[in-house]
Amino acid sequence: MFAVQAHFNGPSMASSGHRDGVMGALPLLDENFGWKRTAILTLRSELWKKKSVNGPARWGPASSSAAGSSTSATQVHIITKIKHRPRHRKPPKRFHPDSNPQNKPISTMDPYSAEGELINIHNHFHQGQYQEVVDFDVSALSPENALPARVLQLRARVALGQAEDVLADVQGAPEPELQAVGALAEQALGNAEKAVETVETLAQGSAADNATVQIVGGTVLQAAGKSEEALALLGRHQGNLDAVALIVQIHLQQNRNDLALKEVAAARRWAQDSLLVNFAESWVGLRLGGEKYQQAFYVFEELAQAPATSSVRTLVAQAVAELHLGRTEEAQAALNQAMKKEPEYAEAIANLLVLNVIIGKSPEELTSALQKANPEHPFLTDLAEKSDLFDRAATKYKARVAA
């Protein structure tokens, strides 16, 4: 649907500076052609990958530099081929008939697609903008989307520390979706055994085919250390990107990069222009390394620095990418922004702690802060396990020295 052609008067495209010249043209697409943010993210990521003359991005010198010239100019030409009216970057919160160009019955449309009425609240949730999810106006939603929207709002409230209120709201609800959310709230309150029991009961019946039960139930099972059960439940999904994203996260936690990459590649074939696919591909990229670090950075930085999409979660994700790229000052700046937004956010504290170790600062104060924010944080439990292993190993050597 589009092509980007860059001409350079000077060195080849191998220079990252020239590549950045193309990246700088992307806001023009966003501003002048109304491309969605997810399309820009996809294009930004794809542009970074392209190094050959094949494909939508073609690099090459337009002409040789003038003899004796000490400067090099970059010209970027955007060639667009749009067969239909371009979509607006941010669809309206309230569904409007004009946003249904195929005149499909609303009930048959994917509510999370670009034309669907849940796209904004869904994106807010996955960008970590939980208060925006809670405050989202759901009064104009169609009846079939009222429950999915309520589920997102309840999950956001759990993430905001309101698990007790959520549990009270869903107590005795007959809907399997709300029962699954109740299990999530129970787990957040420390009742992991009861939460797992609820999910396992749902997974044994017809509710196992319910998308919300799969996603929320899979989240509960994975948090309880039951990865295989979580994957079995999530594996029942029928083209659900939330399930795909969670499967990718589980495979990465299992150190199965190959399976995570396979899952992302499969999703790319049927959901090319999706925020969740961009996220999942970026998570895998941070594990694979190399140029994948830069691709992931572009996705996270785009979201973290735009006022409409910025959150502590996207800022921390940007900081992690910066750390992988060796840019400690930029990582520090992003983490400081995150801490200013939410001083007790455990992931920001944990990554700031790691950064301090890298740059040679004392981690003691941040370790104490992390213990206060989340005593069960994986960083702390892993650190305790490694310290115990070291002490046991040291004891063996001490015995030999004494002998």
Q: What is the pLDDT of residue 311?
A: 94
Whether residue 349 is contained in a domain is answered as: yes
For residue 298, count other CB atoms closer than 10 A to its CB.
22
Q: What is the pLDDT of residue 60?
A: 32
Q: What is the pLDDT of residue 332?
A: 96
Tens digits of per-residue pLDDT, 118-166? Answer: 999 999 999 999 999 999 999 999 999 999 999 999 999 999 999 999 9
User: Does residue 59 carry a pLDDT above 80?
Assistant: no
Q: Which residue has the higher pLDDT, 167 or 66?
A: 167
Task: Kindly state whether residues 326 and 399 are assigned to the same domain.
Answer: yes
Q: Which residue has the higher pLDDT, 296 or 88?
A: 296
Write the CATH number for 198. Answer: 1.25.40.10
Q: Which residue has the higher pLDDT, 347 or 272?
A: 347
pLDDT average, residue stretch 230-239: 95
Whether residue 282 is contained in a domain is answered as: no
Whether residue 260 is contained in a domain is answered as: no
Tens digits of per-residue pLDDT, 304-323? Answer: 999 999 999 999 999 999 99
In the sheet where 57-58 sits, what is the strand order? 57-58, 2-9, 73-80
Choosing from 23, 57, 80, the residue where a domain stops is 80
For residue 10, count other CB atoms closer than 10 A to its CB.
17
Tens digits of per-residue pLDDT, 190-222? Answer: 999 999 999 999 999 999 999 999 999 999 999
Whether residue 19 is contained in a domain is answered as: yes
Query: Highest mean pLDDT range out of 37-51, 205-219, 268-282?
Result: 205-219
Whether residue 266 is contained in a domain is answered as: no
Task: Kindly state whether residues 69 and 144 are assigned to the same domain.
Answer: no
Q: Which residue has the higher pLDDT, 151 or 403?
A: 151
| pLDDT > 70: percent of the chain | 70
**Average pLDDT of every residue of the chain:** 78
Report the distance separating Cα 41 and Cα 127, nearest Å.
14
Task: Kindly state whether residues 74 and 124 are assigned to the same domain.
Answer: no
Q: What is the pLDDT of residue 21?
A: 43
Structural domain boundaries, residue 178: 118-238
User: Does residue 393 carry a pLDDT above 80?
Assistant: yes
Mapping DSSP onto H, E and C, the string for 170-237 reads HCCCCCHHHHHHHHHHHHHCCCHHHHHHHHHHHHCCHHHHCHHHHHHHHHHHHHCCCHHHHHHHHCCC
**pTM for this model (two decimals):** 0.71
Task: Kindly state whether residues 296 and 378 are assigned to the same domain.
Answer: yes
pLDDT average, residue stretch 93-117: 44
Report the distance separating Cα 124 and Cα 121, nearest Å.
5
Choosing from 80, 110, 126, the residue where a domain stops is 80
Q: What is the pLDDT of residue 181?
A: 98
Task: Kindly state whether residues 293 and 360 are assigned to the same domain.
Answer: yes
Q: Which residue has the higher pLDDT, 110 or 294?
A: 294
pLDDT average, residue stretch 88-109: 34
pLDDT average, residue stretch 329-356: 95
Number of structural domains, the chain? Answer: 3
Minimum mean pLDDT range among 39-43, 166-170, 252-256, 388-392: 39-43
Task: Kindly state whether residues 300 and 374 are assigned to the same domain.
Answer: yes
Q: What is the pLDDT of residue 360?
A: 94
With a CB cutoff of 8 Å and minimum separation 6, the contacts of 156 are: 125, 130, 131, 133, 134
Q: Which residue has the higher pLDDT, 114 or 184?
A: 184
With a CB cutoff of 8 Å and minimum separation 6, the contacts of 361 are: none
